[in-house]
Structure 1
Amino acid sequence: MNIAILMGRMTRDPELKYTSGGKAYTTFTLAVQKTRDETEFIDCVAWEKTAENIAEYFRKGNKILIQGRLSVSSYEQNGEKRKFTRVLANSFEFVDSKNSGNSQNSNRNNYDSDEDEGFPF
């Protein structure tokens, strides 16, 4: 079973982009507190409506909870094979807003893409 649930803060504003085929996607990094003194930075990608909503409603510093799955991809650079892992987010929840610390809304777009291969980035 491959399920990832993360809560963290956006490290930068998500930017909505489109593939050559017209599919919306956004990439973002979450700062997830591992321990009191340690933070991990997790790369994430969302597709279609989930991507559009994240790009519209979240900015750097906003806290978000995402659910998705781990994706491991590989590429070759200078003759050396490299791997990287990211989370493919298929749903999210608002954790806080600028006016309160309470959970506000959720987005249950269960978009589950097998588009790990051929990312445009």
Structure 2
Amino acid sequence: MSLRNKVTLIGRTGKEVEIVKFEKGQIAKVTLATSDFYTNALGEKVEETQWHNLVANGKTAEIFEKYVEKGREIAVEGKIVYKSYDDKDGVKRYITEIRVEELVLLGGK
């Protein structure tokens, strides 16, 4: 049995898509908000929002650039990538990204 690193998310973009161009192509970066709801001990409905960093390249990056704007509802499928780097003060920082492999445009803003 083969295990894969795979994630599917549905949410709304939190900012405009950032395009970073390279000699051999481009990548698209954007944040995605997903929300869950639950009822707390007082019987109040509570919304809990998680933010995800999305990164896409190739044709998927081109679709992001052309069709995705802040507030757009989308569904993505991809894999989780963990990265680390040292900031200017030498402190190790960690980033979690979703490397988007599939993008589906849902409702508008």
Shorter-chain TM-score category? Answer: 0.7 to 0.9
Identity over the aligned pairs, expressed in percent?
29
Q: C-alpha displacement at 1:30, in angstroms? A: 0.3
Structure number with greater Rg is 2
Q: Which segment is superposed worse, 61-70 or 72-81?
A: 72-81
Q: Which has the higher strand share?
A: 2
Among 2, 6, 9, the residue aligned to 1:6: 9
State the match for 1:111 in structure 2: none
After TM superposition, the runs of 4+ consecutive aligned structure 1 residues lying more than 3 A away are none
Mapped contact 1:4–1:68 kept (Cα < 8 A): yes
Q: Secondary structure at the match of 2:47?
A: coil
The 5 A counterparts of 1:12-23 are 12-19=15-22, 21-23=23-25
Structural RMSD (CA): 1.4
The unaligned stretches of length 5 or more in structure 2 are 38-45
Output the TM-score relative to the length of structure 1: 0.74
Note the residue ranges of structure 1 that are not aligned, 5 or more in a row.
99-121
For normalisation by structure 2, the TM-score amounts to 0.82
In the other structure, the counterpart of 2:108 is 97
